[in-house]
Amino acid sequence: MNKFKYICLILITTFVMGVAFPVGKIGMLYATPFFLMGIRFVLAGGLLALLVAKKPRPRGGRQWLKSAVIGLFQSAGVMGCAYYSMHWITSSESSIITCTNPLIVIVLGTFLTGAKYRGRQWLGVAIGFVGVAMTFGLQMNIQIGTFIGFAGAVCFALATLLIKRWGAEFDMTVLAAYQMLAGGIVLLLLSAFTEHAYFTFTGASVLVVLWLVILGSIVQFSLWFYLLKNGDPAKTSAFLFLVPLFGVLSSWLLLGERIAWYVSAGGAFICLGIFLVNWESPKVDAHKEVTCSSS
């Protein structure tokens, strides 16, 4: 994959991810969070499964189990926690906490997979995290929603590493479809046991669901899985620092959530962090360092 294509796909994916937070917050005016997410992923997974029906499906019980485990973390874990956290925190705050994922990817990748990253990459993630904190205004109020959002970030990191490890076994659009189906079923079961589920049919609620299903799920997950398969998970995940920036801006536009000067300052730090994580020096020891393929 050439760098121009890679950057374009990253920008599209992170923009859609960011906008999904305020759109989901609007959707929660018409439905309970787990039920809304369950509907979203069952519809999106089923539709995408039909679109890729001619492609090879998972083979054997092990591959079906792997796709279900990815769905448990990626769809149910990440989005279930993110949207449930919005009972207590804003959509901007939820997007920022969820997208601390890149730091967690590098930490877990180091301890669980033995991956080695350069000091500059660690510095880049740290600077990006500072940018996220600045975008947040350095005023995070710790509460239950904060911890739920962070649990979603951990799920996101685990899903990222699992997709990179197992992704070669699957057609990525097929994997995206069936992991969404698995995650959606888990969310609907969770809704049945924890919520008084409801959905109010209006023009706005239907538009929200269509947006979440088509752009926020089918397009987003297909592109994200493709990017993870064709690049280093830590470097690709570093671009997730753009998600809270898009989330804050879209929350301001769609929900009227307050935006301040420190968002611009945070955005500058985010861009610097992404540059440090992804910039490659002319001489790289391929045996000692994890690098991102641009081919």
| Residue-wise pLDDT tens digits, 113-170 | 667 777 877 888 788 778 777 766 665 556 788 888 889 989 988 888 888 888 888 8
Give the HSE-up count for residue 191: Cα atoms under 13 Å, Cβ half-sphere.
23
For 251, residues 6+ apart whose C-beta sits below 8 A from its C-beta are: 21, 22, 25, 90, 91, 92, 95, 257
Give φ, ψ of 199 to 5 degrees.
Answer: -145, 125
- In a structure prediction context, what are the per-residue pLDDT tens digits for the chain, which is 295 residues long? 677 888 888 889 989 988 988 898 899 899 998 999 999 999 999 999 999 888 988 888 899 999 999 999 988 999 889 888 888 887 777 877 787 777 777 777 777 766 777 787 788 878 877 877 776 666 555 678 888 888 998 998 888 888 888 888 888 889 889 999 999 999 999 999 998 989 999 999 999 999 999 998 889 888 887 887 777 766 777 777 788 778 878 888 888 777 666 666 777 787 787 777 766 544 444 344 433 333 3
For 118, residues 6+ apart whose C-beta sits below 8 A from its C-beta are: 289
**pTM of structure:** 0.77
Q: Which of 77, 73, 70, 84 has the alpha carbon at shortest distance from 27?
A: 84
